[in-house]
Structure 1
Amino acid sequence: MTEPMRITPIAADRVEAGRLRYYDIVMAAFVAILLLSNVLGAGKVAQVWLPGIGDWPFGAGILFFPISYIIGDVLTEVYGYARARRVIWVGFAATLFMAGMAWVVVALPPAPDWRNQAAYETVFGQVPRIVFASMCAFWAGEFVNSYVLARMKVLTAGRHLWMRTIGSTVAGQAVDSLIFYPLAFWGAEGWTPHLVVVVLFTQWALKVGWEVLLTPLTYWVVGALKRAEGLDVYDRGTDFTPFRARV
């Protein structure tokens, strides 16, 4: 019978990049979910019926965007802050490129016999203010999420993963929401200050709720990756500046 792979605690700066088997796959998953949640979910307002409340509208992107935070938790927990930081910068650059590409493609004059320009603009047209708010919120929120989780891991000596994942999401999503909604909608037509605050706290609570519900899955993925890599990375002595992409 094959013996289970031993998980070795190790400082983040002692990890050899060549021995990481699944880091690039997790990075690709993070970027893919980030881009798809922005393309497929951001522009649609969906509706569900809730008992005792009735019809309740919500932004469809909330179904999938929080998964990027969960993958961010997995990256930091398994591979350390520096490698999570690199992935955040890759995601930021990919989102910026996607926004620029969408603007160029929407702005191109359509062929005379192509009748779908209005629908295309509705789906892929992006308001610069909202794009700017989204980029700022993503960057700040993801780094807060990763920083809090990495520091808590050292302080708890690797115990209570649920506390770290939920605690980091509470902080990261709070920063994300506090930046995005005022920047994107404060003073905008149809958005009263009260509505901005209500939507801000509603979306924050829903995103944190997603993290709580998916905690068992997070445990399983983290455990499987640690066993596969044979490592348990701790950020002792890590430079936590967000302003670099090198590991």
Structure 2
Amino acid sequence: MKRTYLPGIIAMAAIVVASNILVQFLYGNWLTWGAFTYPLAFLVTDVMNRVYGTAAARRVVLVGFVVGIFCSLIGTQIMGEFGPLVTLRIAIGSGLAFLIAQMLDIGIFTVLRNGKWWTAPLVSTLIGGSIDTAIFFSIAFSSSLSFIHPPTDVSWAAEVLPLLGVGPEAPLWVSLAVADWTVKLTLALLALVPFRIITARLRTS
């Protein structure tokens, strides 16, 4: 593995670890602090893709995936008020969502990389982030997927409430997913600024 990949690897690992820790702390009714750090993984992937190419981006994603699995394994051994901090469904949902969404991001970015500078990072992150949210929340909390691990109690997530407290009635986990998705879309736009600055500096260094 080339030495130039090291900053990307460290950044990805730090984001995954931080997100796994911060997801334990609520921000308002629908989010956790982890929702604000996790989307930065897409920024790291896109920077690596732009500067070092597809292969480098995939290597960094695989490192993040392994680190995420390690964090999930630790979480399953830590008991909280209602059981393990990380259930098997959350671990599976988190791992699959990360790997599929990040690899999709890389594929879309690669196809669009010759367009305007902002097209590839914006489109790939918007689509990848949307898929990430859909996969994670469906596997982790949807009652229709309870067969994945029947002992996991997700009845609290199935409570029917107004969407985000103001919209039509929907299961609680749907509100959590929509809030998470909104943050990802917002950060995808904001991340264009550091993406432009970081890639410009790395490509001239």
TM-score (norm 1): 0.68
CA distance in 2, matches of 1:189, 1:83: 41
Residue deviations 1:57-113, cap 9 Å, x none?
Answer: 422111111111111111111111111111111111122122223445x3xxxxxxx
Deviation of 1:118 after TM superposition, in Å, equals 5.6
Contact 1:166/1:208 (8 A) holds in 2: no
Deviation of 1:37 after TM superposition, in Å, equals 1.1
Residue number in structure 1 paired with 2:193: 216
Matches within 5 A, 1:60-209: 60-104=33-77, 106=78, 125-154=85-114, 156=115, 160-187=116-143, 188-192=154-158, 194-195=170-171, 196-209=173-186
Q: Which amino acid aligns with 1:100?
A: L
Deviation of 1:129 after TM superposition, in Å, equals 1.0
Q: Taking structure 1 as reference, are residues 200 and 102 closer, same or farther at Cα in structure 2, changes over 3 Å only? A: closer
What SS does structure 1 have at the residue aligned with 2:27? Answer: strand
Q: Taking structure 1 as reference, are residues 125 and 202 closer, same or farther at Cα in structure 2, changes over 3 Å only? A: closer
Contact 1:133/1:180 (8 A) holds in 2: yes
CA distance in 2, matches of 1:97, 1:204: 25
CA distance in 2, matches of 1:180, 1:65: 13
Instruction: Let me know the Cα RMSD of the aligned residues.
Output: 2.2
Residue number in structure 2 paired with 1:240: none
- Please state which structure has a larger fraction of its residues in helix: 2
CA distance in 2, matches of 1:166, 1:32: 22
What SS does structure 2 have at the residue aligned with 1:126? Answer: coil
Structure 1 residue 46 corresponds to structure 2 residue 27: yes
| Ranges in structure 1 where 5+ consecutive residues have no aligned partner | 1-16, 48-55, 107-116, 229-247
What SS does structure 1 have at the residue aligned with 2:31? Answer: strand
Q: Which amino acid aligns with 2:132?
A: D
Contact 1:173/1:204 (8 A) holds in 2: yes
Contact 2:30/2:176 (8 A) holds in 1: no
Identity of aligned residues (%): 23
Residue number in structure 2 paired with 1:226: 203
Q: Taking structure 1 as reference, are residues 95 and 225 closer, same or farther at Cα in structure 2, changes over 3 Å only? A: same
Query: What is the total number of aligned residue pairs between the two structures?
Result: 184
| Ranges in structure 2 where 5+ consecutive residues have no aligned partner | 144-153, 161-169
Larger mean Cα displacement after TM superposition, 21-30 or 95-104: 95-104
Indicate the structure whose relative CO is greater, using CA pairs within 8 Å and at least 6 residues apart: 1
